Amino acid sequence: MQPPVDPRARAEARRALSLPGEALLQECEETFFVASGPGGQHRNKTESGVRLVHRPTGVTVTATERRSQPQNRAAALARLRAKLQALCHVPRPRRPTRPTRGSKERRIAGKKRLSEKKAGRRLPQE
């Protein structure tokens, strides 16, 4: 089960989703870092990894799969939108289902059959 979401964070996420890309980036703290992994010398010596922290909601995303910083920024922005969309989702309340009349009858019939089977194993009373 997911932890409950703060209603203010949900409202902020809903508002942020309506913003265009540049305005959403203005609300974020953007940091660049050296991404590790395959990619050769170009990737290992440039700060192509992008980390976005959306200040109003506290959502953090990173993108390091590309060798290009602008491509990673676009990927991080897409991930941020996806996380904000998930934050906006309000799960429907669960209502417990009730057993149908037929299932109750089948359950009781099975109990009776088992009871009769067990009763047939007993020795007759003298």
Instruction: Report the CATH number that the domain containing residue 24 is assigned in CATH.
Output: 3.30.160.20
All residues at 6 or more sequence positions from 36 whose CB lies less than 8 Å from its CB, including other chains: 44, 64
Q: Report the range of poorest mean pLDDT among 22-26, 72-76, 110-114.
A: 22-26
Q: Determine, yes or no, domain membership for 80.
A: yes
With DSSP H G I counted as helix, E B as strand and the rest as coil, what are the percentages for the chain, rounded to 5?
50, 15, 35
In a domain, residue 122? The reply is no
Residue range(s) defining the domain that contains residue 77: 7-88
Whether the pTM exceeds 0.75: the reply is no
Task: Flag whether 1 is in a domain.
Answer: no
Q: 103 lies in a domain? A: no
Asked whether residue 53 is assigned to any structural domain, the reply reads yes
Q: What's the number of domains the chain is made of?
A: 1
Residue 105 has pLDDT above 60, yes or no: yes
Per-residue pLDDT of 71-84, as tens digits, reads 999 999 999 999 99
Find the range with the poorest average confidence among 7-11, 23-27, 122-126. Answer: 122-126
User: Residue 65 is which amino acid?
Assistant: E
* Domain membership flag for residue 13: yes
For residue 72, give the 3-state DSSP assignment. helix
The residue whose two tokens read 């590790």 is 36
